[in-house]
Amino acid sequence: MKWLLTMIGAVAVVLAVLGAFLPLLPTTPFLLLASACFARSSVRAHNWLRTNPLFGKYLRDWEDGRGLPLRGKIAILLFMWGSMGYSLTRVAHIPALVALLVTIGLGVSVFLLRFVPTKR
């Protein structure tokens, strides 16, 4: 079981990194999944994830219940809606995809602003 959790965690880390650059692939849920898997399978991998210079601080703050800083929330929303806007221009001729993108964007925005604590 530990081997399976480690593999799922590794795949989740790869998807999280890709999600930083691809508009419909979320980063944070994959990081949280990787952290949960590593916490149950590999202390070393979990510590690596929590001390990673790119996203370790955000992950530690999230896991410790401190939320995200306002600056981070703003950056997330700007980057997400910027990439979402580009995607919308590419699929503007397909109303169902436009509706799906807007729904996903609104859902993530509401979740981030309403349910994720703002760290001060």
Query: pTM of the entire structure?
Result: 0.64
pLDDT, tens digit, 9 for 90 and up, residues 99-118: 999 999 999 899 889 988 88
Predicted local distance difference test score (pLDDT) of residue 23: 67
Least-confidence region, from 43-47, 75-79, 84-88: 75-79
Beta carbons of 13 and 31 less than 8 angstroms apart: yes
Q: Could you tell me if 15 and 55 are in contact, meaning their C-beta atoms sit under 8 angstroms apart?
A: no
pLDDT tens digits for 10-22? 999 999 888 878 7
105: Cβ contacts below 8 Å, ≥ 6 apart: 80, 81, 84
